[in-house]
Structure 1
Amino acid sequence: MRAASAPVAVRRDGDALVFSGALVRDAVARLWTQAAPLRAGAQRIDLTAVERIDSAGLALIAELSNGALAVDGAPAGLDALRGAYRLDPATLGFAR
């Protein structure tokens, strides 16, 4: 039996946007609406409570980071997607 997934959510904790659950296509629109107003003044994105991420979730995080925020955590799928899109591991900015 598979364990229940954590609820998909975003919150502000100090200087971090903290995500939890699975950052996948079905959740991205709702998360964008919640995360965008929390972005101002953030210094990092915390993905340590994220179970997995797909390309839509990566697009959300990359847009929020805009290559300027540190990214903590490595949910399932993130390393492969970063490599495929040639994104910097630390900030998700485009790695030339």
Structure 2
Amino acid sequence: MAEALRWTSQGSTLALSGDLERDSLLPFWQQRETLLKGKQVLNIAALERVDSAGLALLVHLYQQQIRSTPSFVISGAGERVKTLIALYNLNDIIPVV
């Protein structure tokens, strides 16, 4: 069973923690536009698990945000997330730092 996905907002950063998986992302998905409004950084350092649905969400969020905030970045990606991005050949679509 997936751990709850949690988020906190501080200034221009939105931080996610917990599991970003198919079973846990619906509440975030429903609030994503409001939560990301004016944000320049999505910090994912505290995510415990990310599945393919979670990765798809990150791709979507990144692509949506760079339209209004060209300096938007996803930061704190761990090795597992970076490996998923590389395995799906998404390095040019979702750069993470």
CA contact (8 A) 2:6 2:18 kept: yes
1:63 matches 2:65: no
Q: Which residue of 43, 50, 53 maps to 2:50?
A: 53
1:38 to 25, 35, 39: 35
CA pair 76-53 structure 1, distance change in 2 beyond 3 A:
farther
Equivalent residue, structure 2, for 1:26: 23
**How many residues were matched structurally?**
88
Tell me whether 1:74 sits opposite 2:72 in the alignment.
no
Per-residue CA deviation, residues 14-43 of structure 1 (Å, 9 max, x unaligned), is 111210001111012222113221112111
Instruction: Give, in angstroms, the shift of residue 6 of structure 1.
Output: 6.4
CA RMSD of aligned residues (A): 2.4
Which whole-Å CA distance do the structure 1 matches of 2:10 and 2:3 have between them? 18
TM-score in terms of structure 2 length: 0.73
Kindly indicate which of the two structures has a greater share of residues assigned to helix: 2
In the alignment, structure 2 segments of 5+ residues that lack a partner are 67-71
1:36-95 CA-partner distances (Å, limit 9, x unpaired):
211121111101111121111111111111173211112463122111222237x715xx
Indicate if the aligned counterparts of 2:5 and 2:25 stay in contact, CA closer than 8 A. no
Percentage of identical aligned residues: 32
8 A Cα contact 2:4 2:24, kept in partner: no
Does the 8 A contact of 1:11 with 1:35 survive in 2?
Answer: no
Q: TM-score, normalised by structure 1?
A: 0.74
